Structure 1
């Protein structure tokens, strides 16, 4: 049996197969509005037509200043919600499920003349602006923004929600000793993520799973190692996280050596340690590699980024290569 094309269930999330569109920024939102448009409709729906099990939107931000750029998506008003609802209706027509990755860029925002904020006034890189340290009350307000964005996402028809706690964005910034030097209660690296998880869960149906993307280790100077990631992961699972999306890095402008399946060992160790379903990501676009990762029980779902940028029908191509049956809508099957 080809495991990539087995169904997957978690709470009320029922996926037709184990392929996931990795959330990748498109930088195509309407200038300054955070609104999705026809670009996002076509980008996301085409992957559903191509057979992807779970179609995940790019990093979508919980407030205006939380966007990476002026052309990044937001979900903090009804206009944005209505656009996402239209996209979800199209995704669902083709049998795929939808997910949204919600986040706040913090010090990684590059919007000019914006209020760039962070746990501490430490820039991301030598060429980045120095962010303003958030007041304690402002941290509490951002937690509320995560709750509000979650409510909008649920009402827009998403099937599951992923919190972005990786790649150097705000949740990650609070976790990292390299970016959090606070002297108030949020100097505790666990507190902000835990309160965000609690706030998000309060707006989610009990049977909807919450996914958390983490960086299993950091590559920058003064960052945390995998042992620390294992510790905080355990706390977040107890707080209500249902599934992990395991990546690495992003805390500094340092890149690791990249090769096929280079992050799967972290996913497997967390899966085995906590008996929790995991998504693995990173150089898995070769269908044989993706299938091997699943067969070896290193992950439960396979997240494909650049491979699906190159080919929106990656999942169908994988089925053809691996000898699995996957029916596409319309006359598309004639191509195979």
Structure 2
């Protein structure tokens, strides 16, 4: 299959971000030992950490027995699940992102430090996300919103599909950011963008395999692959955002189509010229900054009950 011309699709600012990222996180990182992957990812996170906006504080405390970080706000709560392929990341990796979501929306944010693979294969991360969400719903200001990027988008969707139907737990909305939702890895964007910068199809296959302990892939299981569910009805309003230059891009679009067909208020946006992991580029890449603004404006509107899937984004 002919590969896209990334020199045309990706602008200069995004290429600067890619080169800066690869200086800390080389393209072959997924082939290294787990310990090395985590050390390299931690270095990447330190390189891009922006600190806290003025007035934002945080407190580490468990929810449902799961280590978490609480960024106090008011008017509602965002349960946030970090990315990292279910292998890397934690409270540190998305610390400044969650702090900025809190600052921009005014909402309380809780970042969930779910267990990682390979030490804790599926369903450990899902069970932690589920337990934490139940506790956050009980203990934090309503309404409750779910959000996550990459692997965290998978967890947000699987939790919503488990407990978010018919308004249970007061889940008022969900924002999925370049999520991996278990789409067909031999079709569409998985092939078109198999060699995209920042994330390749081979990386996706590695992370998917390690999540189930390198055993045969599980039979259709919405807690592992939300797109494998048979019922998408009565879910919260959902915005699914894809990066154009990402093998996972189609997952967001296919998920929104499934929800819309089931009568759920949902929309997918494909961010032109962006790559997997672009949240870290929000301070230096105008396209990433605009997407982050969409994310925070959507969370605010969902908390206020005013979000519409037909909203026109600038």
TM range (shorter): 0.3 to 0.5
Give the number of the structure whose alpha-carbon radius of gyration is greater.
1
TM-score of the superposed pair, with normalisation by structure 2: 0.38
TM-score of the superposed pair, with normalisation by structure 1: 0.36
